[in-house]
């Protein structure tokens, strides 16, 4: 009886080690894919939750190695407002319209830069969890990346394509950004 128990425990341990290796492999593939794309085009629906106020946006994001642009498609009142993202900050551009882009995180992040923050995390963030989960009936790999000491992003990547379907940014355990991806093109290859 004792030999059977020890054998069962060893087999279970080996299965767990193999599963951990598979988790690391798919997480490594995700990080490699998003680590340094020459270009990325992303269409996403973003909900920013400030606690007492919630804002919904449809964003069209274009990124390259030296920065990028995020154009608001919805809400209609802000359609066409473009944010230029660079290492030294954000510049909003459009006739006389203004958009509130206050910081969602203690160390600063506005809704218009949330997709860029996610891309950086996917490519080089510290992975704290990687599990298989379904999202909307699709087999996914749910991966959590640490953004800062108080913030993290959890993303559901479709297992077959590694395409992000949904992501949530948390600050101090509270979801401040919910994001559904409509289209992702990396290095001119649609995923």
- Tokens representing 87 are 């290492």
pLDDT tens per residue across span 101-151 = 555 455 567 788 899 899 989 999 999 999 999 999 999 999 999 998 999
Cβ–Cβ under 8 Å, residues 83 and 93: yes
pTM score over 0.75 = yes
* CA separation for the pair 57, 44 (Å, rounded): 8
pLDDT tens track, the chain, 191 positions:
434 433 333 333 333 333 444 556 889 999 999 987 888 999 999 999 988 889 999 999 999 877 889 999 999 988 998 888 777 666 667 766 555 555 545 556 778 889 989 998 999 999 999 999 999 999 999 999 999 899 999 999 999 999 999 999 999 889 999 999 999 998 876 65
Burial of 1 (0-12, 13-18, 19+ CB in 10 A): exposed
* CA separation for the pair 175, 155 (Å, rounded): 12
Partners of 185 in beta bridges: 41, 190
Give the H or E element holding residue 131: strand 126-135
41, 57, 87, 164 from 71: Cα distances, Å: 11, 10, 18, 20
* CA separation for the pair 187, 75 (Å, rounded): 28
Give all domains of the chain, ordered by start, each with its CATH number. Answer: 2-190 (2.50.20)
């Amino acid at each position: 009886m004792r030999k059977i128990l020890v054998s069962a425990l060893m087999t279970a341990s080996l299965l767990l080690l193999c599963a951990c290796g598979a988790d690391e492999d798919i997480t490594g593939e995700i990080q490699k894919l998003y680590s340094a794309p020459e270009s990325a085009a992303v269409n996403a629906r973003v909900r920013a939750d400030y606690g007492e106020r919630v804002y919904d946006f449809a964003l069209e994001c274009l990124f390259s190695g030296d920065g990028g642009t995020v154009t608001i498609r919805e809400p209609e009142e802000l359609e066409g407002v473009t944010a230029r993202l660079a290492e030294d900050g954000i510049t909003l551009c459009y006739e006389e319209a203004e958009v509130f882009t206050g910081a969602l995180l203690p160390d600063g992040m506005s809704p218009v830069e949330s997709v860029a923050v996610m891309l950086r995390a996917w490519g080089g963030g510290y992975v704290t969890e990687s599990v298989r989960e379904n999202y909307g009936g699709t087999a996914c790999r749910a991966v959590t990346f640490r953004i800062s000491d108080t913030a993290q992003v959890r993303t559901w990547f479709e297992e077959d394509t590694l395409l992000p379907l949904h992501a949530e940014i948390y600050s101090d355990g509270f979801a401040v950004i919910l994001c559904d991806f409509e289209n992702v093109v990396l290095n001119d290859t649609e995923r």
